[in-house]
Amino acid sequence: MNRVLFPLLTLILALAVLPIVLSALWVKVVTSAAIFALAAAGVSVVFAQLGLINLSQIALVGVGGWIGLRLNYATELPFTFNLAIAGMITAAIGAILALPALRMRGLYLALVTLMAAGAFQILFNAFQFPNGGTGFWGVAQQSAGEVRRPALAGSDVGYLRYTIVVVAASFGLVALHRITAPGRAWAMIRQSEANAMAAGINVTFYKFWAFALSGLLAGIAGALLAGALGQLDARTFLASDGILLFALAVVGGAYSWVGAVIAGLLFKLLPALFNDFGLSADIALVIFGAALLHAIMTAPRGIAGQLQSAFSRRQA
């Protein structure tokens, strides 16, 4: 019962309270944090379910943002349709990134996905993001318009609520996978691929499925980010940030949606707090490094796992 009631209460409180208590600046920061929590959930799908490291998630968020912007300027489709299309195309790209995972794991897979993120970073720098121009790339010297938001989410507060609902629905999709056939197959593959194949599980298919689901979440996050910011920049999707997002997914807790939320808050909220206090946002990197060491040495299930253990002990 708690597994259903707690997420539901959290969603209601977020929708009702956050837009009221936050200033205009922090509404934008929390919106970005929620979006990157969704991206972190995609990292967690691959890592928690298969034990594989994917460092290209930030790059896929950029791809989703590029597609969302291109559809916004090239078509008259509603924002939610653009969101879905961006997610599906990025899911296909994510599935392609599963090809190296069929033959390698650990450091080698991490390096390959990091190289893929670097390649996307070069493309973003070279071609930039669409802003209403002509041609395939859609880039003009001056922006030709704005990103259309849903009718009920035209304001920043409304868009925060819209983002929270989309992120919550995406978390629900991940939870559904974990308790159904894909989740059972992933658990067996993580334990032993040989045993999984002996049990008749199509290891190749389910690896593709996990990477596609991760890409879907990244694509949705990218299109949401395009709607939140109005225009994207190549510097937002550095390959190094893919490493940081993975590290924060581990720190937050890769085995729970709470961990993804914590990762998103750490990724965007903590640097913004330091800036607000007049301090360098780079201080956050020192804290992230210490937190990662703590997670690796004493808390493999991350902050979310520690909170869950503390709550269980208090209940007992």
pLDDT (tens digit, 9 = 90+) per residue, 105-147?
A: 788 888 999 999 999 999 999 999 998 888 888 888 777 678 8
- Report in angstroms the alpha-carbon separations of 262 from 161, 245, 286, 291: 18, 11, 17, 12
Characterise 106 by phi-psi region: left (phi > 0), alpha (psi -120 to 50), beta (else).
left
Write down the pLDDT at residue 310.
75
Q: 111-142 burial by CB neighbour count: b if 16+ within 10 A, else e?
A: ebbbebbbebbeebeeebbbbbbeeeebebee
- What is the pTM assigned to this prediction? 0.91
Tokens 């919106």, located at residue: 31
Separation between Cα atoms, residue 202 and residue 133, nearest integer Å: 45
Mean pLDDT of 79-91: 95
Q: Is the dihedral of CA 51, 52, 55, 58 positive or negative?
A: negative
pLDDT at 2 over 60: no
Mean pLDDT of 297-308: 82
DSSP state of 268: I
Write down the pLDDT at residue 141.
77
The answer to whether the CB of 260 falls within 8 A of the CB of 44 is yes
pLDDT at 46 over 80: yes
The answer to whether the CB of 244 falls within 8 A of the CB of 288 is yes
pLDDT at 101 over 50: yes
pLDDT at 267 over 80: yes
pLDDT (tens digit, 9 = 90+) per residue, 149-205?
A: 998 888 899 999 999 999 999 999 999 999 999 999 999 988 888 888 888 899 899
Write down the pLDDT at residue 1.
44
pLDDT (tens digit, 9 = 90+) per residue, 217-263?
A: 999 999 999 999 988 999 999 999 999 999 999 999 888 888 999 99
Write down the pLDDT at residue 297.
82
Separation between Cα atoms, residue 110 and residue 108, nearest integer Å: 5
